[in-house]
Structure 1
Amino acid sequence: MTTGIHHSSPTAVSVVGLGLMGRALAQALLRAGHHVTVWNRTPAKAAALVADGARLAPSAGAALRSADLTILCLTDDEAVRGLLGQDGVVLAGTTLVNLTSAGSAQARETARWAEQRGARYLDGAIMAVPPAIGTAEAVILHSGPRTDFEAHEPTLAALGTVTYLGDDPGLASLYDAAGLTMMWSVLNAWLHGTAMLRAAGVDAASYAPFAQQIAVGVAGWLPGYAEQVDRGSFPAEVSALETDARAMSHLLHESAALGVSTELPRLFKALADRAIAAGHGSEQYPVLIEEFGRPTP
């Protein structure tokens, strides 16, 4: 389920944690017309929000009591549990949306911890920088009980494009990590190609449109490749892995000849060589899921 920015009836919302992201979240809720209460260990960080209409709570417990929904944006889940476990903080009957960065196991642990204390709990991950919050470009992932998400979806939509992933509270964090590996892989591949072309006097701006075209083209392969992964069958409809491995050797040798780092192409080649040695050379590239699915020795 994915929804974009839209206006809902004013709701009482608290935002606990006012770093750059927390302040952006509170500001977006204020712009959408919600009744926003804020709290931070350093009250001075709330000054601009208070000037724009937010109410500063005297304590974290008071912030939770004043709202139908409390959004948490702290340093980590240990800080969340430490803060909410203090005397004077009552979780029973509250609804928490934890947008603090954490691993999936930590998210599940915090969900159990909160639910044992009577709270309704959704975990979330923000796929955006603070200036994008409150626009459709800000993707906010949520996981946890569907009924709790649907009850507060209109309010959460003020923050960006909200997506519900499922009942498992760890899914938002897991999707976040999977998105990061995509992001860094694409950027590292582009930087490697840029380094190669710079050796021939081609600037990054000249290469970027071609690289973008390649990235878009490769992205178009993903649905078909996903079907192969889910079936566990990898017929070579386009290219066999052993053919790809020969191209990887070419990339590795070209990089070395240009005096460019070979670390990235050596990684590609090592993965392919292991799969070929295991008898998968005649299959298509997604068969490498077997290598990625194994723990590092």
Structure 2
Amino acid sequence: MTDNAVDTHGMPGLTLLGLGDMGTALARAWLAAGHPLTVWNRTAARAAPLAAEGAAVAATAAEAVAAHRLVVVCLLDDASVGTALADADLTGKDLVNLTTGTPGQGRARAEWARERGARFVDGGIMATPPMIGAPEAGGYVFYSGDRGLFDAHRETLAVPAATRYVGTDPGHAALHDEALLSAMYGMFAGVAHAFALIRREDIAPKDFAPLLADWLSAMTASVHEAAEHLQSGDYTRGVVSTLAMQVAGVPTLLRTAEEQGVSPELLTPVLALMERRLAAGHGDESTTGLIDLLVRDRAVG
């Protein structure tokens, strides 16, 4: 195998470590685009279908890393990355880590790679495997870290999904990823509570779903309002439904849940924060002030 191998059409080659559902989807996208690809997976059988599609299969991770300058890693977790690459020579390599991790792990892994002679970019995949290689699906990947690495391989990285570079801090890709996922789970909580309220009623979920989806879509304007408030520091600007007004409706929300035999446990955390902010004298604000209640001083040491 030769470093940075290309095919007769000049398509740059790369190595991919990890062939789970996401890794396999990434591999197929690069193979379909004509990129020479060397793959490795701890369970070797996962590589057999890709070998039939043109991938070179390495016996070890170190052998796979030696094949190309660009090395993409998509493994189970951060610990798996360290284990897989323990015996690999990373000198002069461009390491792109698409393994899900935390901002702190991204920063630590960047330093780990630097000490071993590699450039490093961390990534956060905002897509499911079926969205990979399908531009119309809207999936994309956050990247952060070494800008030179990203610019050098931008076209190759853009093959499976669109790219969004979010800065030189190697922790920022994971931070963007986890922030969006956190918001998603908050939405899931609201959706679950809403469906629970109607669960025992003569209301068809399929009839209720469009109403719920449209309402949530309309409420996304609050995202931009919160951003403007945080930027300006004025949480009262343009507020229509004040915190005081919203807290006044809390008893009705809780009473409705009680009448319907639904646990309020998905609602009570945010309602408690609203009441706490109101008690501190911020009734004329939006709910943006809840963000300040959530942010704590970072641990030192």
- Give your verdict on TM over 0.5: yes
Bin of the TM-score, shorter chain as denominator length: over 0.9
Shift of 1:295: 6.9
Local SS of the residue matching 2:219? helix
Paired residues in the alignment total: 287
Note the alpha carbon deviations across 1:1-40, whole angstroms, 9 max, x for none. xxxxxxx951111111111111111111001110011011
Matched, 1:197 2:194: no
Sequence identity (%)? 39
Shift of 1:267: 1.8
**2:34 partner amino acid:** G
Tell me if structure 1 keeps the 8 A contact 2:69–2:92: no
Which residue of structure 2 lines up, in the alignment, with residue 21 of structure 1?
A: 22
The structure-2 alpha-carbon separation of the partners of 1:245 and 1:195, relative to structure 1 and needing over 3 Å to count, comes to same
Shift of 1:288: 1.4
Which residue of structure 2 lines up, in the alignment, with residue 104 of structure 1?
A: 103
Matched, 1:90 2:89: yes
Matched, 1:170 2:171: yes
Note the alpha carbon deviations across 1:59-91, whole angstroms, 9 max, x for none. 2122112113111011111111122122xx110
Shift of 1:44: 1.2
Paired residues for 1:236-255 under 5 Å = 237-255=239-257
**1:167 partner amino acid:** T
Distance 2:251 2:141 in 1: 40
Q: Which has the higher contact order (CA 8 A, sep 6+)?
A: 1
Report runs of 4+ in structure 1 exceeding 2 Å deviation: none
Which residue of structure 2 lines up, in the alignment, with residue 272 of structure 1?
A: 274
Distance 1:294 1:239 in 2: 27
Tell me if structure 2 keeps the 8 A contact 1:124–1:140: yes
Which residue of structure 2 lines up, in the alignment, with residue 133 of structure 1?
A: 132
Which residue of structure 1 lines up, in the alignment, with residue 285 of structure 2?
A: 283
Q: Structure 1-normalised TM-score?
A: 0.92
Shift of 1:203: 2.2
Tell me if structure 2 keeps the 8 A contact 1:248–1:265: no
Q: Structure 2-normalised TM-score?
A: 0.91
Which residue of structure 1 lines up, in the alignment, with residue 159 of structure 2?
A: 158
Shift of 1:189: 0.6
Distance 1:265 1:56 in 2: 50
Matched, 1:206 2:207: yes
> Is there any run of 5+ residues in structure 2 with no aligned partner, and where?
1-8
Note the alpha carbon deviations across 1:89-135, whole angstroms, 9 max, x for none. 11010001100111111111011000111101000011221121112
Shift of 1:210: 0.8
Distance 1:128 1:225 in 2: 26
Local SS of the residue matching 1:18? coil
RMSD, matched Cα? 1.6
Distance 1:132 1:118 in 2: 33
Distance 2:57 2:296 in 1: 49
Shift of 1:58: 2.4
Distance 1:148 1:213 in 2: 41
Which residue of structure 2 lines up, in the alignment, with residue 261 of structure 1?
A: 263
Note the alpha carbon deviations across 1:218-268, whole angstroms, 9 max, x for none. 112322221101222111621210111112221111111111111123222
